[in-house]
Amino acid sequence: MSDLTILGKAAKQASRQLAILNSNHKNAALLAIAAELEAQTAVILAANAQDIADGRAKGLSESLLDRLLLNEQRLAGLAADARQVATLPDPVGSALDSRTLPNGLQLTRRRIPLGVVGVIYEARPNVTIDIATLCLKTGNAAILRGGSETLRSNIALVNVIQAALERTGLPSTAVQLIASPDRALVAEFMRLDKYVDVLIPRGGHSLHKLCREQATIPVITGGIGICHVFVDESADFEMALNIIENSKVQRPSVCNALDTVLVHERIAADFLPHLARRMAANKVELRPAGQAWELLRHNGHGAILQEAGPDDFDTEWMALILGIKTVTGVQEAVTHIQDHSLDHSDSIVTNDWRNANTFVDGVNSSAVFVNASTRFNDGGQFGLGAEVAVSTQKLHARGPMGLEELTTYKWVALGNGQTRP
Amino acid sequence: MSDLTILGKAAKQASRQLAILNSNHKNAALLAIAAELEAQTAVILAANAQDIADGRAKGLSESLLDRLLLNEQRLAGLAADARQVATLPDPVGSALDSRTLPNGLQLTRRRIPLGVVGVIYEARPNVTIDIATLCLKTGNAAILRGGSETLRSNIALVNVIQAALERTGLPSTAVQLIASPDRALVAEFMRLDKYVDVLIPRGGHSLHKLCREQATIPVITGGIGICHVFVDESADFEMALNIIENSKVQRPSVCNALDTVLVHERIAADFLPHLARRMAANKVELRPAGQAWELLRHNGHGAILQEAGPDDFDTEWMALILGIKTVTGVQEAVTHIQDHSLDHSDSIVTNDWRNANTFVDGVNSSAVFVNASTRFNDGGQFGLGAEVAVSTQKLHARGPMGLEELTTYKWVALGNGQTRP
């Protein structure tokens, strides 16, 4: 039996215990994790300091090193997050709906945990605590595979979690780490369908592709987006500029950040100079195409300009770059989004009732906005209290995944001897 | 561009039109399909007669030939089913829930179609009409791959559907058939993730395995079950016998039929003779293990007996065969089911409140029954009005999948200029 099979089997076993725990017991484990994080601060920071030193020696960028870094303040934040998850309502055990059949059978769809959740994620140690606490809260066992750059930090954090689990009478195998940088283990992990019920890859395009190609476990993908704002003919210019600025600039490296602005051709000549000036003030480089390029190429109003290339409207920028294109109206905007979006977040700025409805009906991204920033597509912003990922697939969950999305349901049918005629 | 890519692209295009149709329009198409099925009866039956003749020449069994067979009565039944689907409520467009965020953003989760649904199914021509009508009702485009034994029948049926679609102003590419018996196309179909949003394999274990291994499209598997009835110490014997008989005998070849009876060891000596006699009367062969074998081996009470082999409790019988095992109580019954069930349908017969709850809490199959037959795990029986498949996986849908399970949702956020602080 391979090491991963042993891990998987133990997780499945633990998931059966977790599934029938009451909320008080699960919350006690979460509070114990918070306390243990504080008690073991020195141990965790020492492990993290080694990761950081190795990363610096390997020449990792300062921004990446900052993402790897833990300090007393960040660790205190993680403990606070664990305590906050304990305060959230537990979705497990609630009834989605119920009915009594004509033969008297009482039928209820009852929420239950997914079982064993596998997560593959980038090099951010805080994700280890996030995923572990959200899975525990919903009665799921978790198998984690974090980035190799934070292996020592993750080992220290999972030790803390497992100590807290044991102290509250739960199996330490409820949260396990694949504690090896061996990449071959990722491929094996993806095929552990006998023990793992769902796989959540949190990473870039190539990890998603690998999961689609290789995984035998059902996968929830997300976290990648080509996001659009369409500025309709009737748009309030100031509102449009604010929404574009916020969507593009507030945090350009995330998946709900803006990539392409579509502008109604009838207002393009008026609007684009305003847009160029606002973007110039924010150091955003513009990539206009067609008519937009013609309107800006001789006067960029201070903005850095480059004519849009053939792949630019299929690029998630993750940077201060913005594609611009004019369209003949809402219908062409919808079609452009259908053809280029990755189903993440798209917004229309308009004052026209009919166009707003056409946009909302035609764009089937995980979140569709009217007169609001794409940056709102987020579990915290949407009031879910927590977020395990932002899904852009069609099955199971779309958009921000909170606690409910870490559950499934079973049909419970209570009878008194019913048989089928 | 391959033929399948052309098919996929056309389906995706059609799905965008279907997604914004109102219910009246979709229902008109369903009624047109019903009318066209009746008008084209002779054409369809002629095609089916050729399939049947070929099948007979190939030496297919009479029971399989009966599953392939269409006649006037069965065709009338299909037309009636299409009309019935038209009467069902359309889930698309309804709000799952809604809230207004503190910043005034009005947030709704709105039901939308999945998009393009791919279905691979066994040689039953009625499935072609079932899937097509349920997908149309929910605004999904469908790509169908039926069994090669009914290829001519399926071509005739899809011609009928496409004629009806065109007559009601819908794209005929809303329902397409992979009209070739070439098996290589199945592998290509499974990897059409660019165009197909979900793949539903309706078939046996090997098709499911192939999908898990090969598909790059998210898959909903189901339709396979190892189903249990646990007869608790406090069970009413007559109720237990009726439930076992109904679960095992009423239709032994389906996935919610009973495979294994677990009997509390304290009542085994009393109960097993009754069970053996009842099964003998129904020509059910018994496969008892351990104590059950010892209790029955010298007197089978008229039943055919064979000691259970090592794989018998992991076998879906699909026949009049029943595994029997004694257990020390509800906890061992739950553990046996957790280890051997395929998450389909399991039932306890008991009069003990605590044991009923232990069973319902511990068994996380798609449907869990107390004092009722496993045969109820079915869309029609559960009152869903229609059924596209019975899912046994954890993601998206579990148990009978009706119209709602052919939908997903998007977040719609209506604002007046909100940006993220």
Q: Is A220 on the interface with B (CB under 8 A)?
A: yes
> If you average pLDDT over residues B188-210, what whole number do you get?
92
Of B291-295, B383-387, B394-398, minimum mean pLDDT range: B383-387
Q: Cβ of A42 under 8 Å from any chain B Cβ?
A: no
- Express each pLDDT in B37-47 by its tens digit: 999 999 999 99
Residue B150, min C-alpha distance to chain A (Å) = 30
Residues of A within 8 A of B360 (CB-CB) are: 412
For A165-217, write each residue's pLDDT tens digit: 999 999 999 999 999 989 899 999 999 999 999 999 988 888 888 998 999 99
Residue of chain A nearest B375, judged by CA positions: A420
**B390 pLDDT more than 80:** yes
pLDDT tens-digit map of A312-336: 999 999 999 999 999 999 999 999 9
* Whether residue B264 has pLDDT greater than 80: yes
CA distance linking residue A208 with residue A202, whole number of Å: 8
Cα B421 to chain center, whole Å?
47
CB-based contact (8 Å) between B395 and chain A?
yes
Distances (CA, A) of B32 to B3, B70, B73, B154: 28, 20, 19, 18
Contact B334, B363 (CB under 8 A): yes
pLDDT digits (tens, 9 = 90+) for A111-132: 999 999 999 998 789 999 999 9
The answer to whether the CB atoms of A250 and B396 lie below 8 A apart is no
Chain A CB contacts of B99 under 8 Å are 383
Do the Cβ atoms of A32 and A172 come closer than 8 Å?
no
Q: Which helix H or strand E contains A24, and what residues bound it?
A: helix A23-39
Enumerate domains of chain A plus CATH numbers.
Answer: 3-221+396-414 (3.40.605.10), 227-376 (3.40.309.10)
DSSP state of A148: G
Interface test with B, best of A193, A220, A243, A410 (most B CBs within 10 A): A410
User: Looking at residue A122, what is its pLDDT?
Assistant: 83
Residue B174, pLDDT > 90, answer yes
pLDDT in tens, B312-369: 999 999 999 999 999 999 999 999 999 999 999 999 999 999 999 999 999 999 999 9
A376 touches chain B (CB under 8 A): yes
Which of B218, B400, B411 is closest, CB to CB, to A366?
Answer: B411
pLDDT at A385 over 90: no
CB–CB of B381 and A420 under 8 A? yes
**Stronger pLDDT, B259 or A386, i.e. the higher one:** B259
Q: Longest Cα pair distance anywhere in chain A, in angstroms?
A: 82
The residue among B278, B280, B283, B246 whose CA lies nearest residue B371 is: B246
Distances from the Cα of B120 to the Cαs of A393, A400, B240, B253, in angstroms?
Answer: 21, 31, 37, 19
pLDDT at res. A373: 98
Find tokens 């305060």 and name the residue: A87
Tell me which of B285 and B386 has the higher pLDDT. Answer: B285
Tell me the pLDDT band of A92, cut-offs 50, 70 and 90.
very high
| Per-residue tokens: B143 | 């790509």
Q: What is the pLDDT of residues B107-166, one digit of tens each?
A: 999 999 999 999 999 878 999 999 999 999 999 999 999 999 999 999 999 999 999 999
The answer, yes or no, to whether residue B270 has pLDDT greater than 80, is yes
CA contacts within 13 A on the Cβ side of B253: 4
pLDDT class of A290 with cuts at 50, 70, 90: very high
- Grade residue B206 by pLDDT with cuts at 50, 70 and 90: confident
Tell me which chain A residue has its CA closest to the CA of residue B22: A361
Distance separating alpha carbons of residues A40 and B202, to the nearest angstrom:
52
Backbone angles phi, psi at B105, to 5 degrees: -65, 125
ipTM of the complex: 0.94
Mean pLDDT of chain A: 96
pLDDT digits (tens, 9 = 90+) for A265-282: 999 999 999 999 999 999
Residue B385: what pLDDT? 82
CB–CB of B376 and A416 under 8 A? no
Q: Quote the pLDDT of residue A110.
A: 98
Mean pLDDT of chain B: 96
Predicted confidence at residue A124, as pLDDT, reads: 85
Q: Which residues of chain A are within 8 Å of residue B361 when distances are taken between CB atoms?
A: 19-20
**Which of B236, B410, B417 faces A365 most closely, judged by CB atoms?**
B410
Length of chain B: 421
Cα–Cα distance for residue pair A265/A325, rounded to 1 Å: 9
**Which band of pLDDT confidence, cut at 50, 70 and 90, is reported for residue A24?**
very high
Say how many CA atoms lie within 13 Å of B293 toward its Cβ. Answer: 9
Q: What is the mean pLDDT of residues B60-84?
A: 94
Supply angle C-alpha B215, A148, A80, rounded to 5: 100
- Give the residue ranges of DSSP H helices in A259-325: 265-281, 290-296
Q: Is the pLDDT of residue B279 over 80?
A: yes
CA distance to partner chain A, nearest, from residue B126 (Å): 22
Find chain B residues with C-beta within 8 A of A414's C-beta.
Answer: 356, 369-372
Average of pLDDT values for A226-255?
A: 97
